[in-house]
Amino acid sequence: MQIGYIIREGFSGFKRAKLSMFAAVLTICISLLLLSTFTLLAVNANRVVESLREKVEMEAFLADFLNPAETNALRDSLTVLEGVREVRYVSKEEAAEIFKAEFGEDIKRVLDFNPLPASIKIHLKDGYKTAHKAEEIAERIRTMRGVEDVIYRKTLLEMLDRRATTLMWIVLGIGVFITISSVFLVANTIRLAIYAKRKIVQTMKLIGATKSFIRLPFLMEGLMQGFLGGGLAAGLLYLLFEYVGQWIASDLSDFLKVEMIAYGLIVAVGCVLGLFGSMISIRRFIGESVVPQ
């Protein structure tokens, strides 16, 4: 089979039905722009969520009756606890220094003694910084001898869990809707191209043309539509993020970074949409399997 013929016939649809082809490319572009924008925003929003989770730490306040050996034993027990990444002991003196740095007052001078307890700051591993798992770890720590209380930002974790789940379902729903719409739009455009060539297709069947020889130009046409639509979407998205990046604060710009591979992925997704749409159209309107034989 001649590759040149397949490519020429694939491009011929752009000459015969310029308006419909332009509409298909434009719609794929808009669909990918919407899908990519929501996906990239979701990825960056998730990055913000993870940065907030990273700042969440537990603090176990210790009873005054613990001696140094018991404190070390408790710290060792916390270190090997499932979900714990690292621990750090904070003495009563260090707690007073932290209080002075944060509030500008020396608590020893205000009360003539140091009421602040010693504590152990606990950092959790990735995957355990959710409200449910953090509470399980906190409950286990509270049962340990010498631990008077455990505090952490439970409300923040609960809020992050709810928002992350909601965001995931929104992005998934929008993504599925846009993807299905794009595929069927390409399928409809290819169907029009097949209908315009229906006599040629029938003639080719009569003279014994193989199934692959008939199908591949239409597959090439869908692939080209997807490639052009994806390339246009990637270019516009690049310009959009470059422009937006100039107008936001530098500390927020890190959350709007787009890796170059993402633009290539957009073009690849466009090609897949175009190819899959043409496969659906060929299967439906030619009435034969699109798998080359």
Domains (range + CATH), the chain: 3-51+159-285 (no CATH), 57-152 (3.30.70.3040)
Whole-model pTM?
0.60
Of residues 217 and 123, the one with the higher pLDDT is 123
136-160 pLDDT, tens per residue? 999 999 989 989 899 998 888 888 8
Rounded to an integer, what distance in angstroms lies between the CA atom of residue 144 and that of residue 176? 48
Is the pLDDT assigned to residue 222 strictly greater than 60?
A: yes
- Specify the pLDDT at position 139: 92
Confidence of residue 10 (pLDDT cuts 50, 70, 90): low
Rounded to an integer, what distance in angstroms lies between the CA atom of residue 222 and that of residue 226? 6
- The percent of residues in the chain predicted with pLDDT above 70, rounded, is 78
Of residues 119 and 47, the one with the higher pLDDT is 119
- What is 166-209 written as a DSSP string? HHHHHHHHHHHHHHHHHHHHHHHHHHHHHHHTHHHHHHHHHTT-
CB neighbour list of residue 249: distance below 8 Å, 6 or more residues apart: none
Summarize the confidence of residues 205-225 as an average pLDDT.
75
Is the pLDDT assigned to residue 132 strictly greater than 80?
A: yes
Confidence of residue 225 (pLDDT cuts 50, 70, 90): confident
- Specify the pLDDT at position 284: 64
Mean pLDDT is highest, among 4-8, 32-36, 84-88, 162-166, for 84-88
CB neighbour list of residue 21: distance below 8 Å, 6 or more residues apart: 13, 14, 189, 225
Summarize the confidence of residues 80-102 as an average pLDDT.
86
13-70 pLDDT, tens per residue? 666 666 767 777 887 888 788 778 777 777 777 777 778 888 888 999 998 888 889 9
Is the pLDDT assigned to residue 293 strictly greater than 50?
A: no
Lowest mean pLDDT among 100-104, 226-230, 270-274: 100-104
162-212 pLDDT, tens per residue? 877 787 788 778 778 877 877 777 677 667 766 666 676 677 677 776 767
- Specify the pLDDT at position 141: 92
Rounded to an integer, what distance in angstroms lies between the CA atom of residue 232 and that of residue 236? 6
Q: Give yes or no for a contact between 81 and 134, defined as CB atoms under 8 angstroms apart.
A: no
DSSP state of 102: H
